Each structure stands twice: as structure tokens, then as C-alpha cells.
Chains A and B, each alone.
Chain A
């Protein structure tokens, strides 16, 4: 590897880590503020401007906490769990293109790469759930695995509709194909399926079953404290970030904006709005039951996703790939 490539890689990786940490910290603050106002409260207020200094305080608290390991836990897997969660979450960020030509690695099959790593997260959660030797974490981990099987297929099929239309799995190509009309207009059904399944992938309400607080205390992460908990949280927020990015990139035109020049700002704005939307949903809806989620996925989302693919394929054949 040349020196320039080394510099590019290291700077890029550090920038992505900073992005992830920043999104997590500001995301936590924004979520507390937003949901606070949703509940006619004001959220954190006392430290700094609108409670912004709460963030470093939370970070110091998290680092300073005692790192406990349950006596009956599988020590090796227990220590390995947060790593298994954070590595794929971090690795998925590598392929994201944030502006024309701005990506650590602009892959020709970036979408496939991102999905491959995102799918590994629930496996890490199941591993964590099992390693803690706690019944609540076990149930949470198994729920994460069950949820993965349910929503992953409709999600990938919905994304396949976009791939069919754009005739590429590269994120840059997909976004550039939406310079005119966004895919949300052309494939509204696909957008709906993808968004619902993505909410489940993010473990966000109403699909927050693996960490259902009122049922499983804190689900698979019940036993974690200190920085281990912090890493799991970081992984969760990275899914939130990547999920919002994918919805924005696949269906909402990425960095494109009608009548305005393309810019990374549009993408950032869309991601923030989508993340806020998940918080809004979280503040409003109760949780689905385990069997309702699987039924929703298999009985409704999956047939709808197949229908969506057939529709897209038929339209592309009838109108020609370039027109559609």
C-alpha cells in the first residue's frame, strides 16, 4: 500500500469513529430533548446550553462505572460480546458514501456489504444474551434472533426493488439514479416495507422487543455496565445512523434535492429527520408482541415485498430500464 492510501485509510477510519461517537452523543441528547418536549417536559436543562454538558457528564459517568461480570457468566464470550457488536456496526460505515465521491471505500457493491455487516449485529446480541447466564438476557437475545429472521427477508427484498431499477448495488450509482425522481415516488410500497423492516432492524419502538424494558428489564444488555454498556449503545446508534442513511439513500434521493444543487447537507438533513421520526414513533407507540411481529413480517411484508419486485420488474420491462 502506498503512503497516500495509508493516510487516507487511517484518517477515514478515525473520521468515521468520530462521526459514530458524535452521532451517538448528540443523538442521545436530542432524543432526550425531543421526547421530553413530546411529553410536555423540557428534558435536560441545567448543565450547559439546554443541557448540552450532560453529554460529557454522561460519558465520564459511563467510563467511571464499575465493570462487573456476573459470576455465572461465560467470561470469554461476555468480554467478547461488545466487540462482536461494535465491529460490524463500525465496519458497515466504511462503505457509506456521504457526498459524490466522498466515501472511505466507494464500492461497486456497497449495499450488499452494508447489509452483510448489519445482519451480524443481532447475532452479536444473541451471543451477549446467552453469555450473561441471565434469563432476561437470554430471552432478549433469542428475541433478537427471532426478529432478525422475520424482518430481514422483506427488508432485503424491498431493497432489491431499488437495485433492479438502478441496475446497480453501488450506493453512488443508486443515489445518482435519483437525480430526477426519487424512488419513494416510483416505489412507494417498497419504501413502506423497507422503513417498517428498518425500524425492526434498529430495535426501535414499536419493535424494541429484544430490550423490552417493561418485560425484560433491559433485554440482552441487562448485565452490562460501564463501557461495555457504552459499546452496545454505540452499536445501537450506529444501526440507527446506517438505517436512516439507507432509507435516505435508497428512497429519498440521498444528496439530491429537487431544484437545488446536490450537497451532503441534504443527506445529513434527511438522516436527522429520519432519526427524529423514529424517536417520534418511539414516544408514541406501544410495543408489538413477539408473535405479532413475526406474523406481520411473514404474512404481510414478505408477500408485499414480492409483489413490489414483480411490479418494478414489469414496469422496467415495459418502460425500459432508463425510463424507469
Chain B
């Protein structure tokens, strides 16, 4: 039972308690918002989470280190590779495993492609929330599908790849695949980005609805532990890919996209620029992909020495942290995920009051949630 204290509405009238979700066209999964409304204006907002809880962290304690991999895909089903990688890095650091260079490059490549698909899902969602009939939605879906074809060619699966392994990756990329991948990312994708930008930030109605809506300053963001594009749209150029590089990021030339306004429109601009930036990184990765092994031999009954470790990675939504603790056995003693969206979502009760119901969905769509990762 969730407690909800009502405040007095202006003019001595009663407020309305509106439950948006868990079954609602715009809650991106099963988020539940309890909104206290004065007419169309939000007075108080409270997100209710937990509808998608599958107990992934507890399940992990009953599996071997390698078997946990299949669960990480299902944490955030929109950014699968990022979640796999975060777990892999944690275990590899704990067990002291060196990953071959080609594997690191392959992981970086797939992760950046995954960032594009994840941002495309955000794009599809936010354009629906703002009231289009789904034309930009379908366009984004089409592009995402082309990248999924590459995922399928490399890993054998589109959505749940289960591709990374402790010590490397499961399958190598086919040499013949690099050329069409490069052609798509270097030639077609920027053109499609032009279309995406024209339909979102280039549209007068969208700008009128997003400008100055849901402004959040850098201090407030840092205070709440908000990371990712949400934080970068408010000014700070914080990106773990540059600040604490892992994989092949330190060998790539890329820009950390920021904006200084901090409203919903700025968040859109940052993500749209990140789309192009990720494609640029992928092209560099394809051009300079080193040769070599894709995995090192790791004992089937992997037993990392007792201890714990925490790694941070930059998922499409922000700082994805993984904490693993080992008691020296073949199963993790504790597996814990720091979900970036959980922290980003905690800004909602402060951001929403004072805005209209229509704004609420724009702000909420703009933070790019994925309930699977919050509830786990």
C-alpha cells in the first residue's frame, strides 16, 4: 500500500488522484504514477515501481558465475550489451582475467550499436508521447531493425544475445559483415538522423511543447545522482567512456555531447547528437579492429578469490554500476546493480509538480526509462 498525502488545491477545491499506469499507453512498460491533479495541473507526483520485479539479483546467487550472464540480458532489455558488459567487467576484475584486445573492441562496437538502438527506442517512445500517430516511431523502428540484423548476424539473436563471456565474447564477427555495417553507419545512418531531427527538434509544435519544460539544473542532478544524457543536458560533461575509459574507448576519438539548458528539448538534442556520435565511434572501431583471439580460456567452475568489486560503465541511460561479492565458491555471494534509471526517475516527484498532464508525459518520456532495469 502506497501512502499518498493530499494537499489542498488552490481555491479550496478538491484535488483529483489520477493513476497513470501500470496499464497506460505512455508508461513505457509497467511504471505506475500516482498523480495528484488540480484540473490538468500536477500538484504532486509519486512513481510506484516494482511491477516487473523478477528477483534477478537473488536468482544470481543460485547460479554459477557464467550462468548469471543470461540474466543480465533481461535486466535492461533495451540495452542488453551494456548490462552484459558491466557484469563481465566486474567478474573479470574480481578474478583477475585479462581480456584479449579484439574481444574488447568487439564489445565496444556492439555496445555502441546497442546505444543507437536504445536511443532509437527512446526516440520512438517520446514521439508517441508527444502525440504523433506513430510515423517517427515506425521510422525509428525500421532503422533499429537494420541494426538488429547485424546483432543477429554476429550473435545469433536479435534481442537477447547472451553473447559476452567472462574472458571474452562467444562468437567472432564475420569479416564480410564489416563492410555493409560500415556502409550503413557511415552513409545511411546520418541521413536517417537528419530525418529524426527534422521530425522532433525541427518541428515547431514539438519545440513549443518541450522548451522550458522540466528544467533541472546541474546541481539538482548531481544531488540526486542523476547520470547519463539527463545529466549532460544540464551542463556537466560527465561520461564514463571518457572519464574512466574501459574497452576501446580510450583509443577512440569522440565528443561528449552536452547542452546547457537542461529542459526536455535539451535532453532530446543531447540524445540525437549521441546517435551520430555513436555511429562515428562504430565506424572508427570497424576501421581499426585489431586481429587476434576473441576469448581467453576460463575454467568452467570459475571460483574468483573471496572479495568484492564494483565497476561503473556508461550505459545508454547513465552510470550502470555492478557490485559483485565472492566468497571463493562457484556462485556469486552477492550481485547488485546500480540502475541509472532508478536515480533518474527519482527526479520525477520534483520535476512534475506545476506542469500540465501533457507536459508530464513529455518529461517522463524524455528521461528514457526501462522498467526492467529498475525493478530487476
Bound complex: CA A92 to CA B109 (Å): 62
Q: Shortest beta-carbon distance, A313 to chain B, in Å?
A: 32
Question: When the two chains form the complex, which single residue of B18, B135, B206, B361 contacts A214, counting CB atoms closer than 8 Å?
Answer: B361
Bound complex: CA A38 to CA B358 (Å): 26
Chain A binding surface, main DSSP class = helix
Taken residue by residue from 199 to 218, chain A's Cβ proximity to chain B (1 for < 8 Å, 0 otherwise) reads as 00000011010001111110
Tell me if B139 is interfacial: C-beta within 8 Å of chain A: yes
- A99 partner residues in chain B, CB cutoff 8 A: none
Q: Shortest beta-carbon distance, B148 to chain A, in Å?
A: 17
- A47 partner residues in chain B, CB cutoff 8 A: none
Q: Interface segment, B78-86, B125-133, B177-185?
A: B125-133
Taken residue by residue from 300 to 331, chain B's Cβ proximity to chain A (1 for < 8 Å, 0 otherwise) reads as 00000000000000000000000000000000
Query: Is B24 a contact partner of A217 (Cβ separation < 8 A)?
Result: yes
On whether A286 and B139 interact (CB within 8 A), knowing A212-B358, A215-B358, the answer reads: no
Query: Is B133 a contact partner of A212 (Cβ separation < 8 A)?
Result: no
Bound complex: CA A267 to CA B26 (Å): 40
Question: When the two chains form the complex, which single residue of B127, B134, B205, B361 contacts A206, counting CB atoms closer than 8 Å?
Answer: B205
Considering only residues 239-298 of chain B, those with a C-beta below 8 Å from chain A are none
Tell me if A275 is interfacial: C-beta within 8 Å of chain B: no
Tally of A interface residues using CB under 8 Å: 29
Question: When the two chains form the complex, which single residue of B40, B138, B203 contacts A290, counting CB atoms closer than 8 Å?
Answer: B40
Query: Is B358 a contact partner of A287 (Cβ separation < 8 A)?
Result: yes
Tell me if A263 is interfacial: C-beta within 8 Å of chain B: no
- A282 partner residues in chain B, CB cutoff 8 A: 133
Query: Is A205 a contact partner of B131 (Cβ separation < 8 A)?
Result: yes
Query: Is A286 a contact partner of B127 (Cβ separation < 8 A)?
Result: yes
Considering only residues 177-235 of chain B, those with a C-beta below 8 Å from chain A are 203, 205-206, 208-209
Tell me if B62 is interfacial: C-beta within 8 Å of chain A: no
Bound complex: CA A208 to CA B8 (Å): 31
Query: Is B135 a contact partner of A283 (Cβ separation < 8 A)?
Result: yes
- B26 partner residues in chain A, CB cutoff 8 A: 214-215
Query: Is B135 a contact partner of A284 (Cβ separation < 8 A)?
Result: yes
Query: Is A283 a contact partner of B139 (Cβ separation < 8 A)?
Result: no
Query: Is B25 a contact partner of A217 (Cβ separation < 8 A)?
Result: yes
Query: Is A206 a contact partner of B138 (Cβ separation < 8 A)?
Result: no
- B16 partner residues in chain A, CB cutoff 8 A: 135
Query: Is A214 a contact partner of B209 (Cβ separation < 8 A)?
Result: no
Tell me if A167 is interfacial: C-beta within 8 Å of chain B: no
- A206 partner residues in chain B, CB cutoff 8 A: 131, 205
Tell me if B359 is interfacial: C-beta within 8 Å of chain A: yes
Tell me if A292 is interfacial: C-beta within 8 Å of chain B: yes
Bound complex: CA A41 to CA B129 (Å): 21
Tell me if A35 is interfacial: C-beta within 8 Å of chain B: yes
- A290 partner residues in chain B, CB cutoff 8 A: 40, 356, 358
Nearest B residue (CB) for A143: B40
Q: Shortest beta-carbon distance, B4 to chain A, in Å?
A: 15
On whether A38 and B205 interact (CB within 8 A), knowing A215-B357, A215-B358, A291-B356, the answer reads: no
Bound complex: CA A289 to CA B362 (Å): 11
- A143 partner residues in chain B, CB cutoff 8 A: 40
Taken residue by residue from 262 to 288, chain A's Cβ proximity to chain B (1 for < 8 Å, 0 otherwise) reads as 000000000000000000001111111
Query: Is A283 a contact partner of B133 (Cβ separation < 8 A)?
Result: yes
On whether A289 and B356 interact (CB within 8 A), knowing A214-B130, A214-B131, the answer reads: yes
Q: Shortest beta-carbon distance, B120 to chain A, in Å?
A: 15
Q: Name 16 extra pairs, CB < 8 A, besides A214-B129, A283-B132.
A: A41-B138, A206-B205, A212-B358, A213-B25, A217-B24, A284-B135, A285-B203, A286-B209, A287-B130, A288-B205, A288-B208, A289-B209, A289-B356, A289-B358, A291-B356, A292-B209
Query: Interface of A with B (CB < 8 Å)?
Result: 35, 38-41, 135-136, 139, 143, 205-206, 208, 212-217, 282-292
